Structures are given as structure tokens and as C-alpha cells.
Amino acid sequence: MFVLRLIGLLFIITALMALGSDALLSLEAREVTMRSFSDTWGILNEGSREAFNAFAAANAPEAVQGPLASVMAFPAWGVLGIIGIVIAGLAALLRRGD
């Protein structure tokens, strides 16, 4: 349980860091700018993002490709924050079941 809670917390912290980065970019540009999840992934590791996109295009069903493209276009802080909240919620549910 502790490991799941820690992983969830790390995702939430990373989401807050991405939000802060977008806030600084917006202040610098004097307009609202947000990096998409795909842009942030590309900054971290361009090769793995391209490999994932190629894998998803070749192997994912047609019904999944549209929503996957939408998630990749969402702001990074939103995607990471939702993942963190879901993981932390699952950890809480598993703990309650004990």
C-alpha cells in the first residue's frame, strides 16, 4: 500500500511541477501557454515518445486511437494529476479492504 501511495504522490508532485512550468511559460509569453502531454514526453525522451506513437498506430484498435490522441494533446499537468489521483485512490481503496 505504501508503494502505491508513494507512486501516486510522485505523479501528483510531477503534475504540480508541470503546472508551475506552464505558469512560468505563460508569464514569460504574456499569454496562456500550456505544454501538451506529448510535448512534455518529447522533452524528456523523444525516442520513447516516437516509439510509443508508432506502436500505438500499428497495434491499437481504431476505437482507441482517437481517445489516445486526445489524451496526448491534453495538458501534461492534467494527465499526470489524474493518474496520480487514481493511483492514490486505488491505494486508499485497497487499504480499506484490509
Domain total of the chain: 1
Separation of alpha carbons 97 and 57, rounded Å = 39
**Domain of 62, in residue numbers:** 2-97
Report whether pLDDT(97) > 70.
no
Q: What does pTM read for this prediction?
A: 0.87
27-74 pLDDT, tens per residue? 999 999 999 999 999 999 999 999 999 999 999 999 999 999 999 999
Predicted confidence at residue 96, as pLDDT, reads: 80
Asked whether 41 and 48 are in contact (CB, 8 A), the reply is yes
The one-letter amino acid at 13:
I
Predicted confidence at residue 1, as pLDDT, reads: 79
Query: Among 24, 35, 17, 28, which residue's Cα sits nearest to residue 72?
Result: 35
Predicted confidence at residue 90, as pLDDT, reads: 93
